[in-house]
Amino acid sequence: MRAISSLVLAFGLVASCSGGTDATPIDDALDAVAPLDTGADAELGDNGPSTPTRLYLRVAEQDISPPVGTVLGGYGPPGGTRKATAIHDPLMATAALFTNDAGQAFLVIGTDLQGYFADLGETGPGLRAVREAIVQALAGTVPLTPEQVLVTMSHSHSATDMIGFWQKKNTPIPRALLDQHQAWLVGVATAAAAAVPVEVRLASGSTRLEGYTARDQACSPELDDTVGVLQARRVSDQSPVLTVVNYAKHPTMMPVGNRQATADFVVGLRAEVTNATSAPVVYLQGFEAAVHDGPKVEELPGAPGSFERAYAMGKTLADTVVALLPSLTESADVGLETRSTAVDCPMTGELLLTAFEKFGVPFRTLIKDETGTTVPGIEVSWHRVGPAELMVFPGEGSPGFARKLRERVTSPLALPVSQGNDSLGYLVDPDEAAADTTGQLASNELKMGLGLGGGPCVWDAMTSLGWFDGAWENPAPRR
């Protein structure tokens, strides 16, 4: 007999949040096209969609900065309650809604958050409920399924704690804060859907940014320092509409002593790329388990742990992106596809189990029986956006997994995405763990996540989606 365990206790409310309440759509009336009839891919009938020929994009932004006094995530023990004393730079959410003339759609929302649980038990809406609310809000404009909505977190360790690990002992995330984030994310998605759709073509490419990342304690030779770039450009004049950047590095330039909310190096990346392109940026965190600063970080201006150095890191990444833009390859591919599955995975990570059992945080639905503890309904997804394939892990994947995924991608651009639709801690490649002679992964990463079985569980789920080695191009006939 299995029992569902969901810790629920009394909680207090926070004052109304300080971020803006209205999302800002980004559009251009000169490039307006007719409103689209974009039915969800899953609703298109037994023969699948007709071949798409035109791709459209709508973008909106939303300030999601929390009120001063909000608990920040990323550093310290469970129940650490490191609270923001100021907002150094606005935390942002950027929504990019892709649709095409075959009725396919995909919505990605990049957020400046440390993390966000898909499930927060009975204490309030997690990301799964948020995505369902987005689908309901957009039903009359752009029909989507929850699987076609991807919310990602940059994982700044100086941003809002939306998993609840650092809340006060036996105390959930304040319900008002959860409701406010749902309102913000539904609002930015709604604003994107209401924006003028612009016909675009996608251009893609990648390069490397060497020396600015390294594995902690040299625990593994696996390091993914690829910078992947997907840019949407107006068909009418080739001007940029959006730039998507994928890179694997912990946003921990600001140290544990920092109490000002910030997106860390993502601030510099976003500001500098936007300044160069006059278009917004979505940052997709890569597979960065045990990946922090490399030796070249010491060459950046500013003192260690300063906002100046954090910005300089973002600018260095931005300069790499901007230098790559002229060589991006434009694609005529305007297809949009999504595959997703949910699995139950074992939890053996000692730190998370201790936090649950001893500190009563974070609040999440677990299954406990005589065999151990299981996290139910963990979602893994694959998305194709024209020439790019996104492989989404619900936590911090390790670089070994990124390499293995890249090897299976046949599209021009591979984008391994961590922190997608959930934040379950480290998901470690068992080959890396077995080869680690330093003890780093066993003493830290394997404790701060699902444990040794979590990575293989998620990998097997990804394998089951049937996209490896271009299999998505020849799907099995529907029955």
Residue written as tokens 């020396």? 211
282: nearest Cα among 426, 106, 456, 450: 106
Token pair, residue 283, equals: 């940052």
The DSSP result for 77-96, as a single string, is STT---B-SEESS--EEEEE
Per-residue model confidence as pLDDT tens for the chain (479 residues):
233 333 322 222 233 344 455 787 775 433 333 333 443 333 333 334 579 999 999 999 999 999 999 999 999 888 888 999 999 999 999 999 999 999 999 999 999 999 999 999 999 999 999 999 999 999 999 999 999 999 999 999 999 999 999 999 999 999 999 999 999 999 999 999 999 999 999 999 999 999 999 999 999 999 999 999 999 999 999 999 999 999 999 999 999 999 999 999 999 999 999 999 999 999 999 999 999 999 999 999 999 999 999 999 999 999 999 999 999 999 999 999 999 999 999 999 998 888 888 888 889 999 999 999 999 999 999 999 999 999 999 999 999 999 999 999 999 999 999 999 999 999 999 999 999 999 999 999 999 999 999 999 999 999 999 999 999 998 765 44
Distance, CA of 162 to CA of 10 (rounded, Å): 18
Contact between 377 and 201 (Cβ < 8 Å): no
Token pair, residue 393, equals: 């892990």
